[in-house]
Amino acid sequence: MAHTLQELTEYLATVGMPATVDGDASKTVTAVATLEDARADEISFLANPKYEAALHTTQAGAVIVASDQPRPDALSVIRTKDPYAAMTAIVVRIHGYRQHEQVGMSDAARVHPDAKLGANVNVHHGVTIEADVEVGDDVVLYPGVYLFKGCRIGAGSVLYPNVVVYPDCILGRRVTLHAGTVIGEDGLGYAMVEGKWHKIPQIGITELGDDVELGANCAIDRATLGQTHIGTGTKFSNLVTIGHGTKIGKHCMFVAQVGIAGSVQVGDYVTMAGKVGVAGHLKIGDRAKLSAMSGVMRDIPDDGRVFGIPALPYRQSLRATSAYEKLPETTKQVKQLEAQVAALAEQVTALQQQLAKQSERA
């Protein structure tokens, strides 16, 4: 569907982003694309002034720009305060969210007679739903999804292909799990008895709050007792793993390959960048920010910011990192200082002896 710049500008106002057209307000666009890829019937955006030159080479029909951005004469622009945010709003307006095909109940799915399914579910072929499972209204289960006995999937959730949910785990409403993600597998619970690891049954569960979205191929352990919990609105990227009994707060954001050990407590609005690791039994405060590849071995207070292995408070870490880069030089300086100090000591001793002799003579 085609949208005029005028209409898009009016739409932006309704979502709290006042904007104006500078150029041809009646121009129509049908899609959003990058400055590089966009064609004449597409709209693009410039958020970073660094890429300003692309305004002069883009084939886009229109571009969303900052309020004070100069524009080439021939190019129509929409001016607004935050072009990136406006672009995302316009993507929603023009493209919307992924639509899931309405397939209803496949006759090649296997649903246990003791499972309870809500209204308007889409269960693709090759899905397995075991006994005592509850699936809410409007849930989409793609091929290869396996729901073990007793688990509960909240209304509006989407489980992409090959997602597995172990027994008795609970997913809130509108949970999205990308392909290959596993919820509620056994954690690493063993006791060493007479030279062998003996398994400790993991009788707890995993619970995900509402609006949780996890990337592809994640793995969230069930608890030994009680539950592993991921709070409402929290989002993970791919290949993230959470240990047994760990509790993650609400509205957190974890980048790919984060790994959290067991029995950790993570507050709300916590950000963990890529590949962060957190050791067991720690407490990470609300709104903490953990930089990429940090290895956390101590508690972090509310609003704490850390970096490094082991993770240090951010400013200390920056200073240590900077000092580290100069460490070979510093080490050399220390060696030189040692030589200089030794030479000075000799000179001082010589002076002392000379003075002593003079005193004798005097």
What residues numbered 24-53 form the site for a second copy, per CB under 8 A? 31-34, 36-37, 44
Q: How far is the CB of 41 from a second copy (least distance, A)?
A: 15
Tokens of 313: 């408070």
> Do the beta carbons of residue 315 and residue 307 sit within 8 Å?
no
Could you give the CA distance from residue 282 to residue 166 in angstroms, rounded to a whole number?
Answer: 26
Q: How far is the CB of 28 from a second copy (least distance, A)?
A: 18
Q: How far is the CB of 73 from a second copy (least distance, A)?
A: 25
Tokens of 265: 């407590």
Tokens of 139: 């849930």
What residues numbered 59-88 form the site for a second copy, per CB under 8 A? 85, 88
Residue 160 touching a second copy (CB under 8 A)? yes
Residue 238 touching a second copy (CB under 8 A)? yes
What residues numbered 246-265 form the site for a second copy, per CB under 8 A? 251, 253, 255-257, 259, 261
Residue 179 touching a second copy (CB under 8 A)? yes
Which among 21-29, 58-66, 70-78, 89-97 is the span making contact with a second copy, rule CB under 8 A?
A: 89-97
Q: How far is the CB of 329 from a second copy (least distance, A)?
A: 9
Eight-state DSSP code of residue 99: P
Residue 57 touching a second copy (CB under 8 A)? no
Quick one: which of 152, 173, 178, 287 contacts a second copy (CB under 8 A)?
178
Could you give the CA distance from residue 169 to residue 62 in angstroms, rounded to a whole number?
Answer: 48
Q: How far is the CB of 164 from a second copy (least distance, A)?
A: 4
At 279 the three-state DSSP class reads coil
Quick one: which of 70, 113, 119, 358 contacts a second copy (CB under 8 A)?
358
> Do the beta carbons of residue 95 and residue 114 sit within 8 Å?
no
Residue 328 touching a second copy (CB under 8 A)? yes
Residue 352 touching a second copy (CB under 8 A)? yes
Quick one: which of 235, 265, 299, 305 contacts a second copy (CB under 8 A)?
235
| Closer residue to a second copy (CB): 26 or 281 | 281
Strand-pairing partners, residue 42, are: 31
Residues acting as catalytic residues:
244
Residue located via tokens 């006042």: 18
| Closer residue to a second copy (CB): 25 or 279 | 279
| Closer residue to a second copy (CB): 26 or 310 | 310
Tokens of 258: 């984060």
Residue located via tokens 């150029």: 23
Alpha helices in the chain (DSSP H): 5-14, 83-95, 314-325, 327-361
Whole-angstrom CA distances from 310 to 97, 110, 297, 306 are 40, 48, 6, 9
Tokens of 163: 């997602």
Residue 180 touching a second copy (CB under 8 A)? yes
β-strands 190-193, 196-199 pairing: antiparallel
Which among 5-13, 56-64, 65-73, 303-311 is the span making contact with a second copy, rule CB under 8 A?
A: 303-311
